[in-house]
Amino acid sequence: MLEQIEASCCPRCGMLVAPKVRFCPYHPVEMQPTTVPGVGEILSFTTLYAPPQGFRSPLHIAIVELAGGARFVCHGEATKGIRIGSRVSVEAVDAVYYFAHLGALDRARLFWRRAGARGERVSAIVRSWTKGVWKGRSRDTHA
Amino acid sequence: MTRFGRRAESLPDLMADAAGAALAAARREATEAIVVASMNPEEFIGEGNFASYVATHLGFAHVPAIRVETATSSGAAAIFSGFTAIAAGMFRSVLVVGGERMTHVSTPRASEIIGRSIDPYERSYGATMPALAALVTRILMARRGVGLREISEVAVKNHRNAARNPYAHFRAPVTVAEVMESRIVADPLRLYHCCPISDGAAALVLSADRTAVRIAGIGQGTDTLAVRYREDLTTFAATQSAAKAAFSMAGMGPERVDFAEVHDAFSPFELIALEDLGLLRPGTAGSATLAGETALDGRLPVNPSGGLKARGHPLAATGIAQVVELFWQLTGQADGRQLEGTVGLAHSIGGLATNNFVTILAAER
C-alpha cells in the first residue's frame, strides 16, 4: 500500500508542509490537517560519510517533492540510480521515512491502487502467491 | 581581532585581547555599552550569563552589556544591534565583541552543537550543516551549470589570500587537485570545500562621532528555519532581502562595491552569495571565479582575508572579523593584501541562511 503522510495546509496561502505543523511558516494562522500520498520526485540528495551520532555510515538523505508540492526530508537505503527528478515512493519503517526507487512492482501497485478495491484484491492474491513460491523455494534450498 | 586557529587561551581571554586591540585602535579607554556575540558558550565552554561574564572580565562590570545570538551570523547581528542603539540615540559609543572557543571538543561534538541551528525534524534525519549544504550544492550543480571545478577554485583562491593574512587559521596555499581529491564529507562536498573549526575573537568600536570609515548601510534578511519549506534552494532569500535593505540605506547599488567579504562556510556559498548580493549577474559567479575576477588582483576581490574557508570560522567572531578586514582595507592597514577602493561589503549567514546580514562600509573622504 502507498503510504499516506500526515501534512498540513495553510488556509490562507494553500502552502502544504509535511510532516504536520501548527502554524504556516509564512502566516500566523493555524494549519488544517490533511494527508499526501507518499510518492514524489527527488529534489536533491546527499550521502554523509561522517554522520552524526546514532546514524550508520554512509547515511543517505534526500529532499523529496511529494504530490501536491509538500517537500519532505527522508532517508534512503542507497542512492545508486537516483538522480534529481527520479520518481520515488516514501514509506515509513518504524516511524522513520525512507525513499525508494519506484520499481516495476511499485508502479504496478500504483496502478492497482488507481484500479480500486478490485486491484487491491488482485494484488493481495499476487502477493500471497509470490510469498508461497518464495517459501517453497527456500524450503528446497535448505533441504 | 585575535589570530584565528587552534588557540590555548580561554574564550573570555581571547575576547579581552580582541576588545583591547579594538579600543586601542579607536584611542579609547571606555565605552558606553557592550554587545557580546557568542553562538553557544553554554555548550562549548559551559558558561551562561555571558554578557555579564565578558563585561566583568574586561573590567567593564558597570557598563551595560547584552548578548545577541543568530547562530553563525551572531557577530554581524551584534554589529546590527550596536548600530541600531547608536542610531536611536541611546549611546554615543558601543563596543562590539564576539568569539567562539571550539577546537577543544571533538569534531562530531562541534558539528552537533553547530547543528542545533537546524530545524528539529530535519536534524532528526541526521541533517548536519554539511548535509544541508550538500543538498543545496547538488541542485546548484544540476540547475545552474556550476561544476566542481568552479567550486574548488573558490577554496584555492581563499587559501591563497589567507597566506597573506597573519590572522588566518590556514597560511598554506592548496591546489585545485588537492581540493578535488580531498575526502568526501557530504557528497558532492569534499573536506576542502568546508570551513574549519576554529578558536578566535574579533571586536570593533562603533561611534556616533565622525570617523575614517562609516557604516553606510546595514540590513537583515530572514528565511524559514526548515530548508524544505523553501521555494528555491539555489538562491538564499535571506541574503537578497538583507542586501536590498543595506543598499537602500546606503543609497547606492552593488556596482559601487569595490571588494567584499562573504560567508563561504562552504565554497559553493560564495558563488550563491555573489549573485544574491547583485555583485555578479545570475549564472556568472562560477566563470568569473575561474577567470580570476574575484582574486586579489581581480575586478572585484572577494574574501581578501581568506574568508571562512581559510581565515577560519570561530562562529560569532566571523561577522565582526569580516567588518574588521573591510576597515583595515579601507584605511590602508591590510599589509601584504592591500586593495584599492572606498566601498566594502560584508555578508554573514546565520544557520542555513535563516538569518543573514549585509553591512556596507564606506571610507570618508
The domain ranges of chain A are 4-102
pLDDT digits (tens, 9 = 90+) for A48-72: 998 998 899 899 999 999 988 899 9
Residues from B in contact with A at Cβ < 8 Å: 107-108, 111-112, 115, 121-122, 125-128, 130-131, 134-136, 138-139, 142, 183-189, 224, 226-229, 233
What's the pLDDT score for residue A141? Answer: 41
pTM of structure: 0.91
Residues from A in contact with B at Cβ < 8 Å: 15, 17, 19, 25-26, 43-55, 59, 61, 63, 71-75, 79, 84, 96
Q: Is the Cβ pair A73, B233 closer than 8 Å?
A: no
Q: How far apart, in Å, are the Cα atoms of B252 and each of A53, B128, B154, B247, B259?
A: 48, 37, 27, 6, 15
Helix, strand, or coil (residue A66)? strand
pLDDT by residue for chain B (365 residues), tens digit each? Answer: 999 999 999 999 999 999 999 999 999 999 999 999 999 999 999 999 999 999 999 999 999 999 999 999 999 999 999 999 999 999 999 999 999 999 999 999 999 999 999 999 999 999 999 999 999 999 999 998 899 999 999 999 999 999 999 999 999 999 999 999 999 999 999 999 999 999 999 999 999 999 999 999 999 999 999 999 998 999 999 999 999 999 999 999 999 999 999 999 999 999 999 999 999 999 999 999 999 999 999 999 999 999 999 999 999 999 999 999 999 999 999 999 999 999 999 999 999 999 999 999 999 87
What's the pLDDT score for residue A18? Answer: 92
Mutate to test the interface with B, among A17, A44, A60, A74 (most CBs of B within 10 A): A44
- In angstroms, rounded to a whole number, what is the distance separating the alpha carbons of residues B297 and B319? 24
* Segments in chain A below pLDDT 70: 1, 103-143
Of A53, A59, A61, the CB nearest to B108: A53
Sort out which chain B residues have CB atoms less than 8 A from A86's CB and list them.
none
- In angstroms, rounded to a whole number, what is the distance separating the alpha carbons of residues B285 and B151? 10
- In angstroms, rounded to a whole number, what is the distance separating the alpha carbons of residues B184 and A99? 22
What's the pLDDT score for residue B248? Answer: 98
| Distance between start and end Cα atoms, chain A | 34
Q: Where do the domains of chain B lie, and which CATH numbers do they carry?
A: 11-104+197-363 (3.40.47.10)
Sign of CA dihedral B225, B226, B228, B233: positive
What is the DSSP annotation of B20-42?
HHHHHHTT-S--SEEEEE-S-HH
Sort out which chain A residues have CB atoms less than 8 A from B229's CB and list them.
15, 17, 25, 71
Q: Is the Cβ pair A63, B185 closer than 8 Å?
A: no
Quick check: A99 and A89 in contact, CB under 8 A? Answer: yes
∠ CA(B210), CA(B328), CA(B102), 5° rounding? 115
Residue A55: partners with Cβ closer than 8 Å, 6 or more residues away: A48, B126
CATH number assigned to the domain with residue range A4-102, chosen from the 4 options 2.40.50.840, 3.40.50.2300, 3.40.50.2030, 3.30.565.10: 2.40.50.840
Q: How far is A50 from chain B (nearest CA, A)?
A: 7
What's the pLDDT score for residue A123? Answer: 62
Of B112, B121, B135, the CB nearest to A63: B135
Cβ–Cβ contacts within 10 Å for residue A58, how many? 16
